[in-house]
Amino acid sequence: AHFVEIHSAFVENGQIIVNTEDEDIVRIILNGVDIKCTTSAPIYIASAKKVMIVLVENTLNTITDGTSYVLESGTDEPNAAIFSKSDLTLYGNGSLTVNANYQDGITGKDGFIIKSGTVNVTAPDDGIRGKDYLIVREGIITVTAQGDGLKSDNAEDAEKGYVSIETGTFNITSGGDAISAETDVLIRDGSFILSSGGGSSEWINEALSAKAIKGAVNTIIETGTFMMNSADDAIHSNGR
């Protein structure tokens, strides 16, 4: 495996780029770092088999991007402060704060798994997005996003595009849907405070979606504690 450990560093205008054809797992170990990049994604995973971001116990880690990116001609990527074209996993007993100013907070173009950790994201578009799937095993997740909060949006494969939550504590404020899946939302347990579209006192355009929990195919909830204040449906599915 490849290890990249960043220890107690403040980077005013820098970037971590992962670009490898090796089959080994790449581990990015964040040990009390503050990384800012004004022209692109501070953490950009362009190519790898699989990448893990590790939050060292009891550390505070901050990632901040700028309001505009300098992109290669003909592309619109990256578009998130942490952007991965490969399968991405985040875990550890530290904390990660993502201050996104361009578009998304954290985006995985394949799948994204949060195994543990304290994650705080603010974003002018979507907060946390895994295209193929977004899985949360546990953690303390806080998202303030003008778009959707937690999202999976693969519309090309009926077996993908899902959000699965095993447990955790979630506080999500979104302009769009708080939790949104192109296929299924699956919640086993957890504590949820969800506010979407400005809350129930707001009116939204019919073309917009500001639901608290939306599974475009199915929404399945086993148990949990929920406080929801939504301008649109509180819980929505087109199936069951």
Q: Tokens in use for 141?
A: 């997740």
Q: Tokens in use for 44?
A: 């950009």
Residue 165, C-beta contacts closer than 8 angstroms, at least 6 positions apart: 135, 136, 179, 185, 186, 187, 188, 190
Confidence band of 119 (pLDDT split at 50, 70, 90): very high
The percentage of residues in the chain with a pLDDT greater than 90, rounded to a whole number, is 85
Which residue(s) pair with 216 in the sheet? Answer: none
Query: Which pLDDT score is estimated for 14?
Result: 87
CB 129 within 8 A of CB 107: yes
Over residues 173-199, the mean pLDDT reads 97
Over residues 186-207, the mean pLDDT reads 93
Q: Would strands 191-196 and 169-174 be described as parallel, antiparallel, or unpaired?
A: parallel
Cβ count near 97 (within 10 Å): 17
Q: Would strands 60-65 and 34-37 be described as parallel, antiparallel, or unpaired?
A: parallel
Q: Which class for 106: exposed (0-12), middle (13-18), buried (19 or more C-beta within 10 A)?
A: buried
pTM: 0.95
Closest CA to 149 of 53, 228, 202: 228
Query: Which pLDDT score is estimated for 23?
Result: 85
Q: Tokens in use for 88?
A: 């991405």
The length of the chain, given as a count of residues: 240
Q: Tokens in use for 140?
A: 């303390």
Please provide the average confidence, as pLDDT, over all residues in the chain. Answer: 94
134-166 pLDDT per residue, tens: 999 999 999 999 999 999 999 889 999 999 999
